[in-house]
């Protein structure tokens, strides 16, 4: 008998089954042979929230949640944050290798050539109310882009796919900047591709006709690093949404609109916004112990803490904490930082958090930096989305090319009524 198998005994029947183990995993479908009667459906697994189900094989991002390790294509996040650039990381995620000088120049040039958006899309953005949440605008704009590029439906054509990747990475910052300018009632700034990815984005957000306008290089670099830190995180909620929608062969814009919608929620990419609200509500270091008590009574969650995968310090949070100080050299120090640092200190000494292995995650400090840079809170999840876009695209390409993948279609355990007769209205 091979050692790489699992022997299962069904105590209902006494029958024994042997299922193969590959990559520390058994195939859920192998359990279907486990049945009491020949015409039974067979055994399934029940896993709400997919806490222990691998939905794909991937070569993009490696996380060791117990050790706090994050690698993109095998390269540690710390080295990429220190030495790489966001567009280089995007290339790495999508193609699996670091680009040569020429490949990177070509890649950057193609993406920056696609920063202009169709005027129809600009007109659409203008129809939103002045106080529309920019994440709602972003989700809608990405979905609307599918109507402008109908050839994107050819998801099995790698050339067509690449074109959409250039377009999406190029246009997302423009849509995000226009959404921001719309809410503050200022004219839109058209892209300047000479300024680099993050620099151009800051320019589109800020420029007001000054003759001596210059993008601050420290802030552009900080934003670039923040984008790198958010670029991929394997099968998180939004990426799973991207894969799930794209599994029906929907075009990448429609799939990515769904991914961005999943990111919007406060338990995922909306957490950075929620952290800021929480820190403001706490108000001062003196109020922290009282707040921690409320968390422990389960009245509120400590936003920016805890993670489905990390049971150790999120390596991204450590890097972000460092960047915060670089940004504060340029902007003023955000007074909420003192509250955050003390909150972290107290939480990490408290048994409630220790026993549950709850540590700061990527969102705990990112909002403090964004706020110091002048972003309104509702733009925070949009910044997360810009950073995550290459990850969504890399995972999409991997999925489309994966012969194991099928349309995403989970099973259920049906517990409802059966076989009822319809009751006429007058008899209810």
Catalytic pick from 268, 338, 401, 421? 268
Q: Are 317 and 360 in contact (CB under 8 A)?
A: yes
Active-site residue among 182, 307, 314, 378?
Answer: 307
Q: Which is nearer to ligand CMC, 182 or 233 (CB)?
A: 233
Pick 167 or 233: Cβ nearer ligand CMC: 233
What residues numbered 325-364 form the site for ligand CMC, per CB under 6 A? 356, 358, 361-363
Cβ burial of 4 (10 Å; 0-12, 13-18, 19+) is: exposed
304 is a site residue for ligand CMC (CB under 6 A): yes
Instruction: Rank residues 319 and 362 by Cβ distance to ligand CMC and give the closer one.
Output: 362
Binding ligand CMC (rule: CB under 6 A), the pick from 6, 267, 285, 330 is 267
Distance in angstroms (rounded) separating the CA atoms of residues 86 and 230: 10
Please confirm, yes or no, whether 66 is among the known catalytic residues: no
The window from 1-9, 20-28, 263-271, 317-325 that contacts ligand CMC (CB under 6 A) reads: 263-271
The minimum distance between CB 237 and ligand CMC, in angstroms, equals 7
What is the footprint of ligand CMC within residues 277-296 (CB under 6 A)?
Answer: 295
Asked if residue 391 binds ligand CMC (CB under 6 A), the reply is no
The only residue of 58, 85, 146, 236 in contact with ligand CMC, by rule CB under 6 A: 236
Closest C-alpha to 110, from 160, 158, 151, 170: 170
Distance in angstroms between the alpha carbons of the first and the last residue of the chain? 62
Reading the block at residue 76, the tokens are 């540690």
Residue showing the smallest CB distance to ligand CMC in the complex: 306
Active site residue 307: yes
Taken in order 257, 258, 261, 262, the sign of the CA dihedral is negative
Q: Which of residues 306-325 bind ligand CMC (CB under 6 A)?
A: 306-308
Q: Tell me if residue 268 is catalytic.
A: yes
Question: Residue 176 is encoded by which pair of tokens?
Answer: 């995000």
Residue 115-154 contact track with ligand CMC, rule CB under 6 A, x = bound: ----------------------------------------
Residues ≥6 apart with Cβ < 8 Å to 424:
none
Residues noted as catalytic:
268, 307, 363
Residues that bind ligand CMC (CB under 6 A): 233, 236, 267-269, 271, 295, 301-308, 356, 358, 361-363
């Amino acid at each position: 008998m091979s050692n790489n198998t699992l022997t299962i005994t069904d105590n209902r029947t006494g029958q024994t089954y042997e299922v193969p183990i590959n990559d520390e995993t058994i195939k859920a479908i192998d359990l279907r042979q486990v049945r009491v009667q020949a015409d039974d459906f067979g055994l399934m697994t029940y896993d709400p929230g997919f806490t222990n189900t691998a939905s794909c094989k991937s070569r993009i991002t490696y996380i060791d949640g117990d050790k706090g390790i994050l690698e993109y294509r095998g390269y540690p996040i710390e080295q990429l944050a220190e030495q790489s650039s966001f567009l280089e990381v995007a290339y790495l995620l999508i193609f699996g290798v670091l680009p040569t000088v020429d490949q990177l120049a070509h890649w950057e040039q193609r993406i920056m050539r696609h920063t202009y958006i169709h005027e129809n899309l600009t007109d659409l953005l203008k129809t939103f109310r002045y106080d529309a949440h920019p994440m709602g605008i972003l989700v809608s704009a990405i979905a609307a882009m599918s109507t402008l590029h109908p050839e994107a439906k050819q998801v099995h054509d790698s050339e067509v796919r690449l074109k959409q990747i250039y377009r999406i990475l190029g246009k997302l910052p423009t849509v995000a900047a226009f959404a921001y300018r719309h809410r503050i009632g200022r004219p839109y700034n058209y892209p300047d591709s000479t300024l680099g990815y993050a620099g151009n984005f800051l320019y589109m957000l800020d420029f007001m006709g000054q003759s001596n306008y210059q993008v601050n290089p420290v802030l552009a670099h900080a934003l670039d690093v923040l984008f790198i830190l958010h670029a991929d995180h394997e099968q998180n909620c939004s990426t799973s949404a991207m894969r799930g929608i794209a599994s029906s062969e929907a075009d990448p814009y429609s799939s990515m609109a769904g991914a961005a919608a999943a990111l919007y929620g406060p338990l995922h990419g909306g957490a950075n916004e929620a952290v800021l609200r929480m820190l403001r509500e706490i108000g001062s270091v003196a109020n922290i112990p009282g707040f921690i008590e409320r968390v422990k009574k389960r009245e509120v969650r400590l936003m920016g803490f805890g993670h489905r995968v990390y049971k150790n310090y999120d390596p991204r949070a450590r890097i972000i904490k460092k960047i915060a100080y670089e940004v504060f050299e340029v902007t003023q120090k955000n007074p909420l930082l003192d509250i955050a640092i003390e909150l972290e200190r107290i939480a990490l000494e408290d048994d409630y958090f220790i026993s549950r292995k709850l540590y700061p995650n990527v969102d705990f400090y990112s909002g403090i930096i964004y706020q110091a840079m002048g972003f309104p809170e509702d733009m925070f999840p949009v910044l997360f989305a810009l950073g995550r876009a290459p990850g969504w695209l890399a995972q999409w390409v991997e999925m489309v090319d994966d012969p194991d993948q099928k349309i995403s279609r989970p099973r259920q355990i049906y517990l409802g009524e059966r076989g009822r007769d319809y009751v006429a209205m007058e008899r209810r």
